[in-house]
Amino acid sequence: MRSDSVQKFYFYLSVIALFITFCSPYLFAEGMFFDGVTYAAISKNLALGKGSFWDPFYTETIFPSFHEHPQLVFGIEGFFHKVFGTESFLVERFYSVGCYVLIGFMIVRIWRLVTGETRTGWFALLLFVITPSIIWAVPNNMLENSMGVFIIAGVLLYLKTVLSPKCSYVYVILSGLMLFLAGFCKGFSAFFPWSLPLWIFIFTRKISFKQVVIHTLLLIFFSIAPFVLMVSLSEAAYNSFAIYINTQFLAALDGSRANVVGATGRFYVVKLLLQDLLIPVLLTGIALLIVKWRKVSLSPVKQYMAWVWVFLALGLSAVIPIMVSTKQHSSYILPAFPYFAILLGLLLQPYLMQFMDGIQTQGRGFKIFKMLTIVFLTGVLAFSISRTGTIARDKSTVQMLRKFDKDLPDGTTIGVVSIDSSGSKLWRLHAYFMRRKSISLDADTTKQYLFYLSPKEEEPGINLQQYQKINETDEYFLFKKKKTKQ
């Protein structure tokens, strides 16, 4: 292996080790953000034949017909459940991790297109994996994980149109189709790369204004045309998209869903963005200060400034439209972070090349670095596996399901009493019970269910002459209806 290849291999391996370090407490441990559990439950149901692609099923009591989001992620993840099984949470966990592996791969491919090399691409990858919201999202099975894969694939294909020796409209068309798939994951927020031709024209002049118009129209057409085709050919598709647009998209715009998830306020997303970029910006800034301190000229930074502005504009294009809605959450800006990581990395690319050129692969320092990287990677992998059977999140809920596992038959509906029907606690219970046991929960106390779940700190709210306690945890009692005497 050539010396530059050895360098590249171990620097990338060290970033991978760091990525696994951040994931290690969660990879093999049960529990995730309840949105991710919800999406896993719907995908599992689809794999089991409950519901259909155009009419996904969540539970018998809430969203038996689920149209809160487009269906592509449920279809893809459902396929993985069908292949690898529906029992283990590791299916959705490694599906989610796999999305970020693909995003990381395409970050490096974009870096190669812009810089002509991949030796220093590890730094952009490093900036990406140390972003706090990315660390949070990797194990949590968010829809934006899948959407981000298709978005960056679309960006990569479009950049090939501009930067490859043979400029082909085929890449523009393929880019538009990738954006269609991204929109099919999470909706209209996926279409911010429509602005990319304009930013490339303004900051690099790599294309003409005529090409901007043609490319943009092609991107829009091939992003939207498949949706039009689907709703024209399928009544089920039409009904599904109509429900989604009316109950989710339009409601989010007018603020009527602001109290469902996330923080209210149109500028909250700006605060989230600044918080997430703090660590990558600080790391880049410190590196530039070191360059200045060593009295190295900063003029080489100008080499990629045009592309720095392109990726800055593209990243902001992903964030600013979210401010139209008062419904805000940190997950909404996840697709923007690859482009912020790339632009920050480009500020240091010339100095990174000098740094890499100065490394002697046969020297003692690099040999120590190689050894530490391998030891570190082995250690974090061992730690991750050692977490098998532990609980990373929602410990009381997961423990309750483990304890009640033999008491509750799969696929039934049980009553829940004295739990706030509008609170996140009940939503979390819905998600976990459906994902783990295919059990639906009903807060209607007028119905007579065989089982009831009740918090210990509240009055049971059921006739205790008809029910007996059969199990309990620190927080809940499980009641079962008494058998009537013949």
What pLDDT digit, counting tens, does each position of 123-159 carry? 999 999 999 999 999 999 999 999 999 999 999 999 9
The pLDDT of residue 127 is: 97
For 95-120, write each residue's pLDDT tens digit. Answer: 999 999 999 999 999 999 999 999 99
The pLDDT of residue 376 is: 95
Which residues, in sequence order, are bridge partners of residue 268? Answer: none
* DSSP H helical ranges for 140-195: 143-163, 169-186
Q: Give SS3 for 30.
A: strand
The pLDDT of residue 117 is: 92
DSSP string computed for 313-337:
HHHHHHHGGGGGSSEE-GGGGGGGH
The pLDDT of residue 404 is: 95
Distance of CA 163 to the CA centre of its chain: 28
Q: Which residue has the higher pLDDT, 241 or 295?
A: 241
* DSSP H helical ranges for 358-478: 364-386, 395-404, 424-437
Stretch (H or E) spanning 92: helix 90-115
Residues of the chain above pLDDT 70, percent = 94
For 178-189, write each residue's pLDDT tens digit. Answer: 999 999 999 999
The pLDDT of residue 274 is: 95
For 408-439, write each residue's pLDDT tens digit. Answer: 999 999 998 766 655 677 889 999 999 999 99
Dist. CA 100–CA 139, nearest whole Å? 10
At residue 334, does pLDDT exceed 90? yes
Q: Which residue has the higher pLDDT, 353 or 484?
A: 353
Of 325, 324, 323, 341, which Cα lies nearest the Cα of 276? Answer: 341
Which residues, in sequence order, are bridge partners of residue 413? Answer: 440
- Please name the residues in contact with 309: beta carbons below 8 A apart, sequence gap of 6 or more: 199, 202, 203
Over residues 73-87, mean pLDDT = 96
Over residues 177-204, mean pLDDT = 97
Of 108, 111, 104, 109, which Cα lies nearest the Cα of 138? Answer: 104
The pLDDT of residue 110 is: 97
Of 35, 31, 20, 28, which Cα lies nearest the Cα of 135? Answer: 20
Does residue 57 come out as left (phi exceeding 0), alpha (psi in the -120 to 50 range) or beta?
beta
Dist. CA 261–CA 403, nearest whole Å? 30
Over residues 64-92, mean pLDDT = 95
Average model confidence (pLDDT) across the chain? 91
Q: Two tokens at 421?
A: 């029907």
Q: Two tokens at 458?
A: 């509240």
At residue 263, does pLDDT exceed 60? no
At residue 196, does pLDDT exceed 60? yes
Rg (CA), the chain: 25
For 245-255, write each residue's pLDDT tens digit. Answer: 988 877 766 66
At residue 265, does pLDDT exceed 80? no
At residue 2, does pLDDT exceed 70? no
Dist. CA 256–CA 268, nearest whole Å? 17
The pLDDT of residue 278 is: 97
The pLDDT of residue 323 is: 87
The pLDDT of residue 267 is: 85
- Residues found in the chain: 486
State the distance between the two ends of the chain, measured CA to CA, in whole angstroms: 82
Contact 348, 126 (CB under 8 A): no
Dist. CA 116–CA 103, nearest whole Å? 19
Over residues 50-55, mean pLDDT = 95
Q: What global pTM score does this model have?
A: 0.94
Residue that has been written with the tokens 């090939």 in this structure: 160
Contact 58, 42 (CB under 8 A): yes
